[in-house]
Amino acid sequence: MSFATWFSFFCAACLIAISPGSGAILSMSHGLAYGVKRASVTILGLQFGLLLVLIIAGAGVGSLLLASETAFSVVKILGALYLIYLGVTQFFSKPQASISMSTADTQDAAHVPSFRRRVLTGFLTNASNPKGIVFMVAVLPNFINSQAALLPQLIILAVTMVVVDASVMHSYALLASSLQNLMRDVKAQRIQNRIFGAVLMLVGASLFFVKREASLAN
């Protein structure tokens, strides 16, 4: 793979990661609710999901998925319902009682989902997103040289994408966590849950309108 090809993909990866999506919303939500350190576990799960999408696209399985109306619809519906479920759960989540800063960390730790649950939430958010599969199937082949070995190219592209995405997601989480101290009282937490819950539901609902024909036409 030439440097020019890699750099082009790097630029594309930056644009993909920066563009608002379910991963960014989840990173900001967990960054604000739990802090950057704990949100890093969620972001780890997002990267596992992203790797799965990259493997699906790179191995050609994504093309087969897009060729089947039934398979694509199943993935689309499951992805949409999962994001809507996350949104509804957060929207109606009960805020913690207002607490002092001296006991904040102890109280917060009791309300943070387990390591496994945060990883799984991140993984499912990316892995069940049909928009990610559609986009990668359409974009990834443009950076792969069919005359060269496939695996080394996929590894380079995957590492690049994961490093870029993880950096951007941490930036989103850091930006959100900077407001964490302002969200200690019940009213602020309720507003936070309503906003992020509603956005997740809207993102989930938007998946119902994703068309496989858009990628097949490329």
C-alpha R_g of the chain: 19
Q: Which residue has the higher pLDDT, 213 or 51?
A: 51
Say if residue 70's pLDDT is above 80: no
* Greater pLDDT, 123 or 56: 123
Mean pLDDT of the chain: 79
Burial label for 186, CB within 10 Å (0-12, 13-18, 19+), is middle
Per residue in 37-52, pLDDT (tens digit) is 999 999 999 999 999 8
Q: Does residue 207 surpass a pLDDT of 70? A: yes
Task: Break the chain into its structural domains and give their ranges.
Answer: 23-216
**Statement: residue 19 has pLDDT above 90:** no
* Closest by CA position to 209, among listed 127, 141, 134: 134
> Residue 170: what pLDDT?
95
> What confidence tens digit (pLDDT) does each residue in 150-160 have?
788 888 999 99
The percent of residues in the chain predicted with pLDDT above 90, rounded, is 22
pLDDT in tens, 174-203: 988 887 766 666 677 777 778 878 887 887
Give the pLDDT confidence of 84-97 residue by residue, as tens digits: 887 888 788 776 55
pLDDT, position 195: 83
Give CA–CA dist 194/3, Å, rounded. 45
